[in-house]
Homo-oligomer: A and B are copies of this chain.
Amino acid sequence: MLIALDYRDKRPLYEQVKEKLTNLIAAGALPEDEKLPSVRALAVELAINPNTVQRAYRELESEGFIYTVQGRGNFVSKSSMWQNSKYKEIMEEIRSLFEQALSFGIKKSELLELVEQVCGTERGDKE
């Protein structure tokens, strides 16, 4: 699964687990209906408490990223389940950060350049 926790990170562990998994799912690294590691197995792999993994899984499910089958395990959902709401959420975060940036005197041209930079490095991979 290749997940690494960062104990210097201030965020709670279960949030880091969530973030890692959502990134893998969003990037398409985990295809639909793929089985995720069991709660216990992932807990062992990350050397954390099963409850912590379970909380991550529970929240991922309530956000539509995965679905749970009693006695079977956790599986990744169809992307249509999360796509739209996550899109809105991220756009709102960016808008808010943009406004803060402007109030600190950052110029439109700098923002545009930043878009170019980031998209440039990713363009080869995805388009």
A residues adjacent to B (C-beta < 8 A): 7-8, 10, 12, 23, 26-27, 62, 67-70, 72, 75, 83, 86-87, 90-91, 93-95, 97-106, 108, 110-112, 114-115, 117-119, 122-123, 126
Q: Are A87 and B104 in touch, CB under 8 angstroms?
A: yes
Contacts of A102 in B (CB 8 A): 118-119, 122, 126
Across the interface, A12 reaches (CB within 8 A) one of B70, B97, B111, B123, namely: B70
CB-CB < 8 A to A8: which residues of B? 67, 69
Q: What is the bound-complex CA distance between A62 and B86, given in angstroms?
A: 16
A24–B34 CA distance with the chains assembled, in angstroms: 33
- Pairs A-B, 9 closest by C-beta atoms: A108-B119, A98-B118, A26-B104, A111-B115, A102-B122, A8-B67, A90-B101, A27-B103, A7-B69
| Contact residue among B10, B105, B108 (Cβ-Cβ distance under 8 Å from A115) | B108
Contacts of A119 in B (CB 8 A): 98, 102, 108, 111
A104 near B86: Cβ-Cβ < 8 Å: yes
Please name all residues of chain B whose beta carbon is closer than 8 Å to the beta carbon of A75 when the two chains form the complex: 7
Are B69 and A90 in contact, CB atoms less than 8 angstroms apart? no
